[in-house]
Amino acid sequence: MAVLRRKARRGQGGGAVQDVLDDPLDAAQERRVRAVLALGGVPQADLPDGVQQVRLRLLERTASGREAPRDVSAWAAVVASNLAMDWHRAKKRQERLGERLAALREPAHPSGEDTRLLSLAVAQGLDELPDAQRQVLVLRFYADLPVRGIAEQLGIPEGTVKSRLHTAVRALRARLHEDEVV
């Protein structure tokens, strides 16, 4: 955008200030972008945002100093198609996240035997961890202390606590998978 303003101030680029203020997409190109987005499965309510994204990308391209595409209409259609794919990916990501959250909300009622088996496996896994890792893991997940609180209690940096937690959780998870408990 700054490049466009500088060109406008210098009087370059044809109509100078008017070029900066003009819509980078004409009406026919906008209709084509809307059609590509709609055919790509983007809902009607999201079409104006998609058209604005195409405009923004065209302006960013121009502002970065790259030359304008030879065929703006074709370029805009490709960008719109990519936006439609991005929209679907984001939607699927949201659905997966929703499924995971729903699964967390559903109470799992393992049998007493399963609970005892899991508890035993976790206890054995904790025993195999180095003392420093076991300590931060127990303080974080059993005593429910925040990372900052653990760091203060142990007199170590928060980054060290996070590193030890990460390593400990990864090792415990691997152990539980190895024993086919989870």
* Nearest residue to 32 (alpha-carbon basis) of 64, 89, 71: 71
Query: Could you tell me the pTM of the whole model?
Result: 0.45
Mean pLDDT of the chain: 79
Q: Which residue has the higher pLDDT, 156 or 96?
A: 156
H helix runs in 45-157, sequence order: 47-63, 72-105, 112-128, 131-141, 147-154
Which stretch of 3-17, 71-85, 96-110 has the lowest confidence by average pLDDT?
3-17
Asked if 20 contacts 8 with a C-beta cutoff of 8 angstroms, the reply is: yes
Asked if 168 contacts 136 with a C-beta cutoff of 8 angstroms, the reply is: yes
Q: Which residue has the higher pLDDT, 4 or 126?
A: 126
Does the pLDDT at position 46 exceed 70? Answer: yes
What residues contact residue 160 under an 8 Å CB cut-off, 6+ apart? 151
Task: Average the pLDDT over 140-146 and give the result.
Answer: 82
